[in-house]
A and B are shown apart, each in its own frame.
Chain A
Amino acid sequence: MKEKIYDVAIIGAGAAGMASALEIASTGARVVVIDREPHLGGILLQCIHNGFGLHLFKEELTGPEYAERFISEIKRKDIDILLNSTATRMAVFQTIKQINVCSSEHGVFKVNAKAIVLAMGCRERNRGNLGIPGTRPAGIFTAGLAQRLLNIDGYLPGKRVVIVGSGDIGLIMARRLTWTGAEVLGVVEILPYPSGLTRNIVQCLYDYDIPLYLSHVITKIEGRDRVEAVEVTPLENGIPNQSKSFRIECDTLLFSVGLVPENELTQSAGIKINPETGGPIVDARLMTSAEGVFACGNVLHVHDLVDWVSQEAQLCGKEVVAFLEGKTRDETQGRVSVGANLKYVIPNKYRLKTKNRFSMRALVVQDKATLMIKQGERVVKRLPLRHVKPAEMFHVEIKSEDLDEVYENGEPLPLQFSLE
């Protein structure tokens, strides 16, 4: 079998893959980016709406424009790009990592590299993940698939649409479908509050008088060949009250019910997965349990803004470079422990000698919360937060000066995060 040899192989050419590739290639390392799609850019290309880049570029861009900033830079650099190429397996040996790749142009071959960056992104949860009863007719899509059909391929997925879940992609699609002449009959959300950004609730639903049914679930899908109607039921104290069910006649159902990091490839190499995020467990360098394999972006944990994906990928790129230069090999790291009211904290370790940046999500919706970070009994940081909710990720930076060099059983004291 043919083999290609690189310093770093990056799997995925979306926001995370591109930003890390640029960072690593700027030091002169030999980099290859592998992607199964025919174009660089990943999911950004189908997100034709605006609102991207406010943090990174201080202006509002559409997805394709945001992607193009990175694509043009990649084309200027000496980076190898393998498109229409699917990574099918990954194996980690002591110093060399191997990826099996399959492409229409080059056939089946292996890519060998000293380091790998996992940047495969995430995929959508679907009907199967929810277990909604009823028939199995045509007309049931995930919101992202409908977005691709409409924005890339130019097909209107349906004319009378109900959206399940109030995630941002679903809200964006409600407006997009309305603008293409379809009728959006309602958005059904199981939680008592919307899970998308307020901005999208206002500009995608309220602007077009699309009803938002909070604390409601779909209890039945009707139709034999094509979706004909759905049954919507309100939740009372968490239990569906079927005496209050109502029917909405429609021909299409879109699911916008969350995203899961896409880690089959990661698991094929025996890398440990964090059950809270669905992504790999990473240390302070964003390195997974396999030495030399790094992860960033939505494959690590699902972000709500692409700006944070790019930022995390840039950091990850820097860590890959430091790893190749052997600079971070003997660093001591302490554990990060996740306490009350937090779903997760990334990364799962911290270091004493440099600045640490953490991303996290709350488990609760709350006004005026305080993020507490402790090393043993000592409070390292107390960060007041105006409003927290699971849908909005937040970040905190901890300087090395704020940390004590205290060890317990030869390891730095765990850094404990909690929300009060």
Chain B
Amino acid sequence: MDNEVICLSCPNGCRISVKQDRNGFIFEGAKCERGESYAYQEVTDPKRVVTAVIRTNSEILPYIPVKTDKPISKKYVRAILKEIYKHEIKLPVRCGDVVISNFMDTGVNVVVTRSFPL
């Protein structure tokens, strides 16, 4: 498997080439050690924070924003979005209120990111 990862640990944005041999991965092009661990995570199990909005029962604020409280594996992004869109939330809400807990045993929760009314 040959691949290239752009490191996002800092604004340098090193392009790290990733090769795989019998002993594991070989990373080239990182200017610092953070690049290697970033690239390792990216090729083995890339994770992202997912954000979306959820319908509320209010006409004043019909949608409330939510996020995953930690990055979730990229392979679950579609599934968690589908789950998020099924929900409707009753106001009032506080920032940090849990909407979905421990999604598919990933340890990731979906939390509200805006208090209303504030």
Contact = CB atoms under 8 A, between A and B. Distances in A.
Contact of A48 (B81, B95, B113): B113
A48 B51 contact: yes
Nearest to A46: B65
A64 B113 contact: yes
B11 A387 contact: yes
Interface string B13-50: 10000000000000000000000000000000000111
B99 to A, nearest CB: 14
Nearest to A68: B95
Nearest to A60: B49
Given A198-B6, A386-B12, A62 B113 contact: yes
B87 interface: no
Interface stretch (A127-135, A148-156, A330-338): A148-156
Nearest to B77: A179
A206 B74 CA distance: 13
A207 B74 contact: yes
Contacts of B8: 198-199, 202-203
Given A68-B118, A387-B12, A62 B6 contact: no
Given A64-B114, A153-B63, A154-B53, A203 B11 contact: no
A50 interface: yes
A206 B13 CA distance: 14
A284 interface: no
B52 interface: yes
The size class of the interface chain A forms with chain B is 20 to 34
A152 B50 CA distance: 17
Contacts of A68: 95, 114-115, 118
Interface in B64-105: 65, 67, 74, 77, 81, 95
Contacts of A72: 118
- Main secondary structure, interface of A, reads helix
A42 B118 CA distance: 15
A207 B113 CA distance: 24
Given A198-B13, A207-B74, A154 B52 contact: no
Contacts of A60: 49
A65 interface: yes
Nearest to B74: A207
A202 B67 CA distance: 19
A71 interface: yes
Contacts of B74: 207
B53 to A, nearest CB: 6
A151 B6 CA distance: 29
Nearest to B115: A68
Given A45-B114, A48-B53, A152 B13 contact: no
A386 B65 CA distance: 37
Given A45-B114, A154-B55, A154-B63, A50 B81 contact: no
Contact of A154 (B13, B62, B77, B114): B62
Contacts of A124: none
A181 to B, nearest CB: 9
Given A48-B52, A48-B53, A153-B63, A71 B12 contact: no
Interface string A145-180: 000001111100000000000000000000000011
A152 B6 contact: no
Contact of B65 (A64, A199, A387): A64
A260 to B, nearest CB: 25
Given A62-B51, A72-B118, A152-B63, 12 more contacts: A45-B114, A48-B65, A48-B113, A50-B51, A64-B114, A65-B113, A68-B118, A153-B62, A179-B77, A198-B6, A199-B8, A202-B6
15 contacts: A48-B67, A49-B51, A50-B49, A64-B95, A65-B95, A68-B114, A71-B118, A72-B118, A75-B118, A151-B53, A154-B63, A179-B50, A179-B77, A202-B8, A203-B8
